[in-house]
Amino acid sequence: MSAVFQPRFKSPLTSTASCKPAGFSFWEAASMRAHRILLWSALVAGVVGSGLGCDGDPSPGDPDAGLPDGGPGDAGDAGPDGGTSYFTCDVSRQLGCNPDERCFFYRLENGGQGSQCRPGPCDPVLQDCPSGQRCTYLRTAGQTERACVEEGTADEGAPCQLTGPSEGLGADTCKKGLICTDVSREDGGTSFQCVRFCHDTAQCAAPLQCNEVLWLGGTVELPLVCGNQAKACDLLAQDCESPLGCYPTTGTPACVSQGGRGEGARCEFSNQCTSGSACVGTSEGLTCRPLCRTSGGPPSCAQGSCQPLQGHPEVGACVP
């Protein structure tokens, strides 16, 4: 298994002049524009970690591998420096939770991310509310929770707007299964459109993929929505336009925002690492390692050996 997930962070539509929730953090940088992260990559002969199978035993998951298109914004520091990984259920397959729970990505107090089984009155993907209602997120008195609300009339991709009070989140004009959020336009601006909640790319209309994560404020949950694919690239040539870097995925490598962690630094996401490297599982845990050509030739390893990445046999990582 190679890099397994690369969501993009977005802010939903708000009706106030400032949409920064308490505890402003990196994820809200670049004027609340979308940010992108990649989970760790696995070596063919490496140590895989993080994630739980449905029996609760540690095992490599099989989350969705969808990627968005590249975009602007300062990659910054995508999470905590090292420490325990908190991926305890499979978001894509919805495995590892009790029947009354759903698996969501969520924010840790230290700024990192994980996956967690969370109870709630409804599922924004399954849309299990009573007839005429939809499951979405509502903010009340600073707290954001999943709730059943009246269904709107706007289709996926259509313009949308708020219909509730000034603080209200989720009271918008979108139909069941959708939420109103900012979407990047080809001219570089943004507009507010209805986008679809998802747990997996199979729930998105092609060519969209389940690869964007909403920053809602007032909740630790990071629900996924359908987004565009990323631009393909060459891992060894690193041919993405600045400030993006080329990182491995379970499919075609893609251009995404790059981080600044150097060789040997602890990581949870591949694009926490500098371009030309990836977050891989080794005997030392999850660390940033330079990419190399497994057949020899540049780029080669200054130290260690070139171990191939699963899904990318021509590309490896330099492992001590």
Residue 137 lies in a domain: yes
In a domain, 251, yes or no: no
Domain enclosing residue 155, as ranges: 8-22+83-227
* Choice between 72 and 266, residue whose per-residue pLDDT is larger: 266
What's the pLDDT at 85?
Answer: 53
Q: State yes or no: pLDDT of 286 exceeds 50.
A: yes
* Between 157 and 4, the higher pLDDT residue: 157
User: Is residue 90, in this structure, part of any structural domain at all?
Assistant: yes
pLDDT in tens, 42-91: 555 322 222 222 222 222 222 222 222 222 222 222 333 334 557 788 88
pLDDT score recorded for residue 162: 79
In a domain, 234, yes or no: no
Give the mean model confidence (pLDDT) for residues 135-141: 89
Per the domain annotation, does 34 fall within a domain?
Answer: no
pLDDT at 276 over 60: yes
- The values of phi and psi at residue 301, to 5°, are -90, 125
- For residue 203, name the pLDDT band (cuts at 50, 70, 90): very high
Is 73 among the domain residues? Answer: no
- Tokens 């509502």 correspond to 138
Residue 116 covered by a domain? yes
Q: Provide the number of structural domains found in the chain.
A: 1
List the beta bridge partners of residue 269: 39
Residue 127 belongs to a domain: yes
Which is nearest to 277 in space by CA: 36, 73, 41, 6? Answer: 41
**Residue 29: its H or E element:** helix 29-32
